[in-house]
Amino acid sequence: MRRDIVILGIFVADVTFRTDRLPKLGETLLGHSFALGPGGKGSNQAVAAARAGGAVHFLTRLGRDDFADIARATWDRAGVIAHVIDDPESYTGSACIMVEEKSGDNAIIVAAGAAGRLCAADADANASLIGGAAVFMTQLEQPLPAALRALELARSGGARTILNPAPAARLPKNVLPLCDFVTPNEHEAASLTGLPVTTNAEAERAAAALLDLGAGAVLMTLGENGVFYHDGVRALHVPAFSAGKVVETTGAGDAFNGGFATALAEGADAVEAVRFGCAVAGISVTRPGAAASMPTRAEVLALIGG
């Protein structure tokens, strides 16, 4: 049985500032704290999946700099197997994250650097790895041609495919039919479909529209309201897990995706995999940071009673 999870995505060094509130345009605020740590949706998802028990391979590009050293150390600690294309002509990516202290809400700017140069040829060079996976997952932080080619290779090789369509973007018509699962939040679902997503009924309509566009199943993440799942046969709401006081929501979506991919690769039913992902996310928001907030498998099983 295949068990490996292959993730294509970016690593960035997260530069995080915590303040009483997020600044307005042109405004300078005094912050409470500063931290430098690992981030990037793909990398965060790889760490989440590995810490949750998955056998994870991560494919990306890095510069040759101090931030690349942070990336490699992060993956080593989590047990992620890295497949890195060194790119001395660029820099390792970075993200500026501003966190509102009281609510945990955030605003983020990402500069992908070397990972922004990922291309279809990089996917082709790793075709056997991608196609041989149990689960392949990617996002939209790296260029779309790289993600599209990797999804094609994964589908042709028999891997189950997950697209986390973040950050929000319009997609060509040939992308969603390659996705067994698509995992937008409500804002990304609205961007993909052109439909509002402010109520449960609107979420169901948007999910149905994504199915009509070719997705195999839709897992719409709704923050503290959990996940709405729709595969054309089953349409149901999976509630969020409460694991304590919310400290920071920065990595919650990545935690969910990593947990979902792990359970799916282990053969879990899709809805049970959603529940596992919700538990991973529920723990992650009780801790600061993105990759640093990802829980261990033992912690997840304790929360869900497994």
| CATH code: domain of residue 193 | 3.40.1190.20
Q: Is residue 88 classed exposed, middle or buried when 0-12, 13-18 and 19+ CB atoms within 10 A define those classes?
A: exposed
pLDDT in tens, 71-130: 999 999 999 999 999 999 999 999 898 989 888 788 888 888 999 999 999 999 999 999
Does residue 248 surpass a pLDDT of 90? Answer: no
Does residue 49 surpass a pLDDT of 70? Answer: yes
Does residue 244 surpass a pLDDT of 90? Answer: no
Residues spanned by the domain of 100: 4-25+32-304
Beta-strand (E) ranges in the chain? 4-8, 12-19, 33-39, 55-62, 81-86, 92-100, 106-113, 135-138, 160-163, 181-182, 218-221, 227-230, 235-238
At 242 the pLDDT is 87
Proportion of the chain above pLDDT 70, given as a percent = 100
Name the pairing type of β-strands 12-19 and 92-100. parallel
Number of neighbouring beta carbons within 10 Å of residue 170: 9
Active site residues: 254
45 contacts: CB under 8 Å, gap ≥ 6: 7, 9, 137, 139, 164, 254, 257, 258, 261
| DSSP bridge pairs for 108 | 97
At 168 the pLDDT is 87
Does residue 1 surpass a pLDDT of 80? Answer: no
At 292 the pLDDT is 87
Under the banding of pLDDT at 50, 70 and 90, the label for residue 302 is very high
Does residue 306 surpass a pLDDT of 70? Answer: no
Under the banding of pLDDT at 50, 70 and 90, the label for residue 305 is confident
At 97 the pLDDT is 85
* Separation of alpha carbons 106 and 180, rounded Å: 30
At 164 the pLDDT is 98
Q: State both tokens at 121.
A: 């040829």
How many distinct structural domains can be found in the chain?
1
Sheet holding 160-163, edge to edge: 81-86, 55-62, 4-8, 135-138, 160-163, 181-182, 218-221, 227-230, 235-238
- Shortest CA distance to 68 belongs to which of 42, 45, 90, 46? 90
Under the banding of pLDDT at 50, 70 and 90, the label for residue 288 is confident
Average pLDDT over residues 38-64: 97
Average pLDDT over residues 45-62: 98
Under the banding of pLDDT at 50, 70 and 90, the label for residue 229 is very high
At 145 the pLDDT is 97
What angle (nearest 5°) sits at the alpha carbon of residue 45, between those of residues 181 and 124? 70
Asked if the peptide bond before residue 196 counts as cis, ω within 30 degrees of 0, the response is: no
pLDDT in tens, 85-96: 999 999 999 989
Name the pairing type of β-strands 33-39 and 92-100. unpaired
Helical H segments across 196-251, by residue range: 200-212
Prediction pTM value = 0.92
